[in-house]
Structure 1
Amino acid sequence: MTRLILLPGWGLGRAALEPLAGALRERGLDVGLAGLPALDESDPEAWLAELDARLPQGAWLGGWSLGGMLATALAARRGEGCRGLLTLASNARFVAGADWPHAMPPDIFAVFRNGCAQDSVAILKRFALLCCQGCTEARSLSRQLNQGIPAEETAQRLAGLEVLAALDNRAALVAFAGLQLHLLAEADALVPVAAAEPLQALLSRGVVERVAGTGHAFVLERPQALAARLAAFIREAGDD
């Protein structure tokens, strides 16, 4: 049975991925939901080392948003030790720069970072609303996301934001020789769908696809449809 490890997005915990994990298990996959590192430090290498030591070798890696970015970096780190890579609403860089404009503007990210330092609970509620923007049932999805927020110290949440800002996976996407599937939501308010073409240009054995009519929280809104696509991709890779 194919083993797949999924990592959640920043601050919102594993609960948001439970429906997707269940739908994937219905399709015969052995899915594990792994938490993000419980670290106060913001060095991405420390986060990757913690994940590398904790997560099983030889599995497919995947994740949502920050989780997908960490899975990408870990896949490149493991090389042949990773069977394949699946990401959901994940960018090569979360914060835009002159050489990667298809991301969140730095001034908007700074508002989140400063707001988290002042009141991390309030900023997470705002973040959940943005995750659901573009989804059909935005309000009910936002309530679901808020119900699953794990208890964390502000320092840990800030560290996660700093890692989100620091990760630059362009080299990792180029370096990982395994199969990759990256799904982006067309109405995503956090990861612009305009990143699809530049992401595709980085991949040698990967596919970037757009999911219409939904936003960043499509993992919660469309678990069955996403599970069908992910499972099909794994089957097409001959790894079922």
Structure 2
Amino acid sequence: MSLHIETLGRGPNLVMLHGWAMHGGIWHGVAEALAEHFCVHLVDLPGHGLSPAVEPYSLDAIAERVAGEFPLPVHVLGWSLGGAVALRWALSHPSAVDKLVLVASSPCFAQREDWPTAMQHEVLGRFAQELQADYEGTLKRFIALQALGGQASREVLKALQARLFERGRPDPVVMRQGLDILRDVDLRPELQHLDPPTLLIYGERDGLTPAPVGRWLASRLPDAELEMLKDSAHAPFISHPERFVERVCQFLK
């Protein structure tokens, strides 16, 4: 079965990948503005929204499934988990991704001995356990963390909550497997091989993918630009939509 993809606008192709537990509809606040310049493809990642899951449910399998929908070179923008999918896609198929935009994402979401600026394994493990006991409440608590600390946090939280179950309730098994991906992924050793020019958009107040991650990537990637929004948390495209659209357009044109 094909993935659910909503397409709008005309111009160079821009594929947008959402984060864990969300769906392509989360981009609607900025997609219309971007569609004035690009042919925008809003993808429901496998197992999210209206898209069927893949087996096995791994980062590699998700990236391959998404890449299979776009045989020609495209620009790719990924937020959070979607950013990891975008990275995997660009690393595995360098000629297929023209330019890459990573939004509040990380090559390694969980702490390691040499990687303290990340989520604690215990936090991700707790969310995985709580999914079984309180599925809906756990998803809402995770969303609340995405808005915490940023400018207009109440408005950001309201927007995220409004979209959460808009395309049905995500499969609890897939949600657990998605948390496993966030816990286990570590693409840092491969980043030296990343070819596409990359724009990094991060929030200074992000508690899930902290600002130092963006600065680290900017210093390591061969061709990268960093946009650090000082009043933003984990969803800069919601808290700062005008600047988000402006910066993406500047970079991709």
- Calculate the TM-score normalised by the size of structure 2: 0.87
Cα contact 1:42–1:162 (8 A) shared by 2: no
4+ long deviations beyond 6 Å: none
After TM superposition, the structure 1 stretch with the greater mean CA deviation from structure 2, 76-85 or 52-61, is: 52-61
Correspondence for 1:136: 151
After TM superposition, the structure 1 stretch with the greater mean CA deviation from structure 2, 169-178 or 56-65, is: 169-178
Aligned counterparts of 1:118 and 1:172: Cα–Cα separation in 2? 37
2:41 partner amino acid: G
Cα contact 1:132–1:215 (8 A) shared by 2: yes
2:134 is the counterpart of 1:119: yes
After TM superposition, the structure 1 stretch with the greater mean CA deviation from structure 2, 78-87 or 160-169, is: 160-169
- Please identify which structure carries the higher helix content: 1
Cα contact 1:19–1:220 (8 A) shared by 2: yes
2:229 is the counterpart of 1:211: yes
Q: Could you list the per-position Cα deviations for residues 168-216 of structure 1 after superposition, in whole angstroms to 9, with x for gaps in the alignment?
A: 2213432121211111100001111122332123201112331111111
Question: Which consecutive unaligned segments of at least 5 residues does structure 1 have?
Answer: 236-240
Aligned counterparts of 2:190 and 2:25: Cα–Cα separation in 1? 28
Q: Helix, strand or coil: the match of 2:225?
A: strand
Q: Could you list the per-position Cα deviations for residues 93-148 of structure 1 after superposition, in whole angstroms to 9, with x for gaps in the alignment?
A: 11111122221111122111211232221111011111111222222321221121
Correspondence for 2:3: none
**Alpha-carbon distance, 1:56 to partner:** 4.3
> Could you tell me which of 5, 20, 41 is aligned with 2:15?
5
2:32 is the counterpart of 1:17: no
2:47 is the counterpart of 1:32: no
After TM superposition, the structure 1 stretch with the greater mean CA deviation from structure 2, 76-85 or 55-64, is: 55-64
Q: Output aligned runs, 1:162-177, within 5 Å.
A: 162-177=180-195
Aligned counterparts of 1:157 and 1:54: Cα–Cα separation in 2? 22
Aligned counterparts of 2:203 and 2:246: Cα–Cα separation in 1? 16
Question: Which consecutive unaligned segments of at least 5 residues does structure 2 have?
Answer: 1-10, 48-52
How many residues align? The count is: 234
Q: Helix, strand or coil: the match of 1:182?
A: strand
- Calculate the TM-score normalised by the size of structure 1: 0.91
